[in-house]
């Protein structure tokens, strides 16, 4: 019996950057740089786990910005919105 491993559907390129950080409400956000996938999480560990699953287990492509980030799934793929902390 042979088993075929399947990559997540959103994993198109291992060089894709995934941003992981907190939004202005303190929630954890993970979002691909072009807005192809993302979500809100209760912990940093869950956001990282999601990012690794979606990017094909490439921890080197996960970036944690020092500024707040906001999840934006309503627009066409574009650069993630990063806000300065107040």
DSSP string, 26-43: S-EEEEETTSSSEEEESS
In tens, the pLDDT along 55-80 reads: 999 999 999 999 999 998 775 554 45
In tens, the pLDDT along 1-10 reads: 555 555 554 5
The span from the CA of 82 to the CA of 13, in Å, is: 23
């Amino acid at each position: 019996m042979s088993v075929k491993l399947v990559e997540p559907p959103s994993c198109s390129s291992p060089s894709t950057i995934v941003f992981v950080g907190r939004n202005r409400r303190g929630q954890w956000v993970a979002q691909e740089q072009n807005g192809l996938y993302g979500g809100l999480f209760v912990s940093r560990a869950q956001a990282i786990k999601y990012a690794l699953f979606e990017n094909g287990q490439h921890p080197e492509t996960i970036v944690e910005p020092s500024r707040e980030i906001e999840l934006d799934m309503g627009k066409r793929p574009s650069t993630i919105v990063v806000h300065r902390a107040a």
